[in-house]
Amino acid sequence: MKFFDREKEINKILSIIEGEPNFIYFIFGPINSGKTALINEVINNRLDDNYKVFYINFRRYLISEKKEFIEAIFTTKKEDILEEIKSKSEVINMLIKGAKVLTGIPIPEVEFNKLFEERINDVFQYLNDILLKTKNSGKKPILILDELQMIKDVVVNGQKYLLKELFQFLVSLTKEQHLCHVFCLSSDSLFIEYIYNTGELEERADYILVDDFNRDTALKFMDFLAKEILNKNLSNEEKEKIYSYVGGKPVLIYKVIDKMRYEDFDEILNFMLKDEISKLEMFLDILDYIEPKIKIRNKIIEVKNDDIIKALKMFKDKYEISKREIPPPVYMYLAKENILFLNPIEGTLKPQSFLVWNAIKRVL
């Protein structure tokens, strides 16, 4: 399927890439708003061969300790590439003549095995050398860390220093050496805030929001998909009904229109809403059997069930509210459970999707 819209975000990323590296950029937004699709459109279709992209998607790996973190960064045996790289000269050749986008950092097997015996700084030093060689070869390096929240378990398991060292290293690549553009993608805005504070990133990082489509764009996206998938036009009534159920969430709009090939229109929407209602009811039912807690600055804080219900009821008449209207432990817990999305820049909260919003309005 052809890529749709996001020209504003694409032009912003391209303008950043054309300039000198100075900041770490966090690309954030609600779940399934199209962050990965956006960055893949940029690196695969909007850049010429003067760039060399090192793309690392942490979702492809189970990461709970330092060893797994290192494996995720480098081109590994899982991709049958590591065994082909016998020397640094082959790495350099790959940097100069290889594909524009590399899924990981190329490394000889001997060097890779040594990394587990050495300090984490040696991993970053090797990476720094590769990026420097890339730049010296005439290519402009770009480092992309996708699904950043997948390294959260490393922090939970007592490797907090690893997170700080990683982002201090990224600061070195950008603000200090101006060596490499760095983009970090995540739907977990709470974790991004944690990184910002833990990594000491004040005036060293910036943000790019990839939100769900607004109403006008969502309706145009429906027209686009209807022609691509159904080879017909949707009525205005059909488009408005889709938007009333799923809003501007690209993946949900696609799901509805794709299912229209073989299922009844109203049944599709009703099933999706019933499924979301069931999930919310289960979440609320479980609250009666557990003691919800959230960790804030190394302190475990209990979240009261009544406060959670009260917070959700605030969305019966509003889709978006200020985070100041809900106590931090409560909205942090609801964001952690992927019921609410926190925009840390605007200081606002909203349901992760219109489907969640519709479920809240019906259940509460």
pLDDT tops 60 at residue 78: no
Query: Do 167 and 46 share a structural domain?
Result: yes
Query: Do 326 and 234 share a structural domain?
Result: no
Give the separation between CA 207 and CA 29, rounded to whole angstroms. Answer: 10
* Structure-token pair, residue 333: 């817990």
Residue 270 counted as domain residue: no
pLDDT tops 60 at residue 83: no
Query: Residue 284: CB partners within 8 Å, gap ≥ 6?
Result: 309, 363
Look up the CATH number of the domain holding residue 313: 1.10.10.10
Confidence of residue 296 (pLDDT cuts 50, 70, 90): confident
Give the separation between CA 234 and CA 231, rounded to whole angstroms. Answer: 10
> Given 173, 189, 209, which residue is the final one in a domain?
209
Q: What is the mean pLDDT of residues 7-16?
A: 96
Confidence of residue 77 (pLDDT cuts 50, 70, 90): very low
Confidence of residue 119 (pLDDT cuts 50, 70, 90): low
pLDDT tops 80 at residue 160: no
Query: Do 251 and 303 share a structural domain?
Result: no
Query: Do 30 and 176 share a structural domain?
Result: yes
pLDDT tens profile 298-307? 789 999 999 9
pLDDT tens profile 34-69? 999 999 999 999 999 999 999 999 988 888 887 888
Contact 363, 284 (CB under 8 A): yes
Q: Whole-number mean pLDDT of the chain?
A: 90
pLDDT tops 60 at residue 79: no
Among the residue ranges 94-98, 181-185, 272-276, 335-339, the one predicted with the least confidence is: 94-98
Radius of gyration of the chain (CA): 22
Contact 160, 172 (CB under 8 A): no
pLDDT tops 70 at residue 230: yes
pLDDT at 114: 77
Which of 256, 219, 251 minimizes the C-alpha distance to 237? 219
Give the separation between CA 311 and CA 158, rounded to whole angstroms. Answer: 32
pLDDT tops 50 at residue 215: yes
- The model's pTM is 0.92
Contact 143, 182 (CB under 8 A): yes
Residue 269 counted as domain residue: no
Number of domains present in the structure of the chain: 3
